[in-house]
Chains A and B, each alone.
Chain A
Amino acid sequence: MSAATGTHDALVRAWAADLRAGSAQRWADFRVGARPASPSSGDGPVPSAAQLELVRRLDKDLPSFGRLADLVLATAGPGRGLVDVPLPGGPPGFGTPPVEPDALPADELVRIACGVLVTLLIRDVPAAAAPPRFAWRPWRRGVTVLGAPMTAAVLRDELRSRGIRDGGRSPTCLVLGGPLDRLMAERWSARVAAGGGMRWQRLWESAMAQDRLPPGIQLGTIAARLSEQFGAANVHVILAEDPRAAVALAGEILGLDLPPAVPRPGSGLLATDLLRVLNPLLVLNVGEDGRDLLADQVWPGLAGVESDLALAPPPGKVGWAQTTAERVAADLRAGDYAVHGDPGTVVPVRRAGARSKVDPEAVLEFALGVLGRSWVRDLARSARPDTPPRRPTERQG
């Protein structure tokens, strides 16, 4: 190691120590004010700009912040990304070009955050929970709920809690629909919750290339199939602008006083985009069953409920979305089943504040919050004397 490299590395380690102690000073400012450090090899590899910047952005009020900082600095970035980004100010060399840490792309920091999150999550994979028990009332007619996947899941849970079974020989069939972009967003959330890793844009690209909506939200096809199987009189297509209105309409049809639909925690757009990155990493570490348990039982508590953000079709897909939605609306108008609401609702309209892609900066902010809550959860776990980590081996780097 040259003297210049040693001095630079010592300065980087000094900044790392400063951040670990709770500073939020940027590298550019720290470097100007710092005294020249004597060359030092230090312990372990010199942290990369991405690891350091993630520490800088974390909430300094988190308990045992220094230990969390140590964990971040000792955790390698998973997946594909910039390899060991150096900080500016060092001698010229080979490898990834130096980057001012606060200028790093947000997705690069999200990648590092995901490595730390996985390390924390897999330390305590919950055991499989017994399915909740409900008071079954077999004399009540079953209800089949299909269509908008996340809203349908919320409605199914509510009905089950009232002893109404899912399906049956001659069920009342509800097909939940709404604006196509919202249906696609729900479809995306549902796929990611089930372990998928598809990006929002990719979902649209795939659908457009095949000129077909993903299964599960092909409202006309679903309603026609149910109509053929159970009779048109038993099929109700519900079209509403938002999940609350859809569930309220469902309550009217079923003659039930249903509470307003509350989105499932952990299924918002930012949570979905973050879970998309985490999914393959969780599978890699604890297998698909472990991922499912974490996603079902732990993730909702960590990710919480987001404010109602909306996603619009990606650029270049708006025309296809309109045409497809009009086709769906025409199918619904031509169907022999009951349609509650205006079929025109399916056609997406430009909504204020809707973005055509998930904002990486917003995902990073969200990831920092989830990371903080995961850290607190892990501290609580380690404080329990009788609960050793469920995973036999764990890694921090």
Chain B
Amino acid sequence: MAKKVILHVGAPKTGTSFVQDLLFSERLALAARGILYPADRFDAHFLAALDLMQLPWGGIEREATGAWDRLAEKARAWPGTVVISHEILATASRVQVARALESLGGEVHIVYSARDLVRQLPAEWQENVKHRREATYASFLDDLQDPERASELARWFWGVQEVPDVLDRWGSTLPKENIHLITVPPPGAPRDLLWHRFAQVLDLDPEEYAREEGRTNASLGVAEVAVLRQLNEKICDFVPNYHYRALVRESLVHQNLSQNRGSAALSVPPDVWTWADQISRSWVAELALRGYDVVGDLDDLLPRPPSEFVDPDNPPAEDLARAGLRALTAMTIEAARLRDETVELHEEIDRLHGEIRSAHATRFYVAKQHLVAKARTSPVAARGLAAYRRWRA
């Protein structure tokens, strides 16, 4: 049985991809030190999370059958420390948490990384848009402010982002010292500070695993995300998810629009800032009473003073046009590349057809063809063909 299981359960948009990428790429070195990251890809625990939470995910759940049990089995079999990380685990219900903890055995530590709400709101909307959603920013914010959380969107957001609730669901049966709340530093903090905080919880020397750049989720500006949302409105009825993933999310967003962001950063309108500030203060006051191991500073969870708000539902026309042109350019270049690929494939098909034709042009092959055709009408030829086939067999 593993001596210690470190279960990193979220939240989304708090550097989780960076941590998972680092744990994955260093997994052999970590294993040599007794720390297991049981994964065959950086986000391998996603499927386990889908299985644990019985969460359909656009067809990907087909690959998740039994994934949690397999992961838990690996964790139980490891004699040292095991690290499991996926941000969607944050929304697990108490029954699912109980099952997870029971299946893992050992001394379980819950790690939850949190970032201030004013940065999480636009980040989550942007993530929604990158996943084919068409909701405007205004309607997204309205949904989240609905006290009844009636929309699916609100249920999901608060399920993964409401810090005191997530930690209560995951930690209510564990000792307080086993609950580690990592706060994401405010803007302007040293780039490696967040990694230092994670490393502290994982009991690693941060310098030993330091790196300049890690996997991060692409971030878009106001105009770019506005273009993408409007594009979703136009194409989502026609473009299946597998094409969307490759063409839009990967090619357009990750490889183009998120490089050299050309417009203002997403933020929140003043009234939403005030609302989010109140919620954040109530969270910080509650968390201060809980006695968790806070890595960082609870004040990191309080929003910074509001910045200028540019409405992504009505971005400046010039910015929108520029972002639209960038998108058109990127997609035209991608279309040309795909056409090149098509032409090459046709050339390959022609070459193979040629080889087949050459093989069929021999006298022997022509004679065989003649015999097969004759055998359809002539009993003598049919008997000859049958004899030939018996001889060949």
- Kindly provide the distance from the CB of B69 to the nearest chain A CB, expressed in whole angstroms: 6
C-alpha gap A79/B88 in the complex (Å): 12
Q: Which of A46, A82, A210, A287 contacts B94 (CB 8 A)?
A: A46
| A361 in the interface (beta carbon within 8 A) | no
A residues 92-147 with Cβ under 8 Å of B? 93-97, 99, 105, 115, 118
B202 at the interface (CB under 8 A from A): no
State the Cβ distance, B152 to closest chain A Cβ, in Å.
6
For A75, list chain B residues within 8 Å (CB): 95
Instruction: Please state if A287 and B148 are interface contacts (CB–CB under 8 Å).
Output: no
Q: Tell me the chain B residues, 125-163 only, with Cβ under 8 Å from chain A.
A: 147-150, 152, 155-156, 158-159, 162
Q: Is B93 within 8 A of A80, CB to CB?
A: no
Q: Bound complex: CA of A245 vs CA of B114, how far in Å?
A: 63
Which parts of A280-301 form the interface with B (CB within 8 Å)? 280-281, 283-288
> Which residue on A lies nearest to B66, using beta carbons?
A393
Band of interface residues on A: 35 or more
B56 touches A76 (CB 8 A): no
Q: Which residues of A contact B238 (CB under 8 A)?
A: 209-210
Among B46-54, B209-217, B267-275, B356-364, the one that faces the other chain is B46-54
Interface centre among A94, A99, A205, by most B CB within 10 Å? Answer: A94
Q: Distance (Å) between the CB of A162 and the closest chain B CB?
A: 33
The residue in chain A whose Cβ has the minimal distance to the Cβ of B172 is: A1
In the complex the two chains form, is A82's CB within 8 Å of B50's CB? Answer: no
Whether the pair B61, A284 counts as a contact (CB closer than 8 A) is: yes
Q: Are A76 and B61 in contact (CB under 8 A)?
A: no
Chain B binding site: helix, strand, loop or mixed by DSSP? helix
Within 8 A of A (CB), among B92-132: 93-99
Contact across chains for A280 and B56 when beta carbons are under 8 A apart: yes
Q: Are A284 and B98 in contact (CB under 8 A)?
A: no
Tell me which residues from 26 to 62 in chain B have a Cβ below 8 Å from any Cβ of chain A: 50-51, 53-56, 59, 61-62
Question: In this assembly, does B308 line the interface, its C-beta being within 8 Å of a C-beta of chain A?
Answer: no
Instruction: From the candidates B54, B96, B172, name the one contacting A284 in the complex (CB within 8 A).
Output: B54
B25 at the interface (CB under 8 A from A): no
Contact indicator A79/B65 (Cβ below 8 Å): no
B93 and A77: CB pair below 8 A? yes
Ordered by A's residue number, 13 sampled pairs between the chains whose C-beta atoms are within 8 Å are A44-B95, A77-B93, A80-B155, A83-B93, A83-B158, A84-B94, A95-B168, A206-B237, A209-B238, A280-B56, A284-B61, A285-B65, A395-B99
Residues of B whose CB lies within 8 Å of any CB of A are: 50-51, 53-56, 59, 61-62, 64-66, 69, 91, 93-99, 147-150, 152, 155-156, 158-159, 162, 164-165, 168-169, 172, 237-238, 283, 286
Q: Which 7 A-B pairs have the closest CB atoms?
A: A78-B54, A209-B237, A280-B56, A45-B94, A95-B165, A76-B95, A94-B164
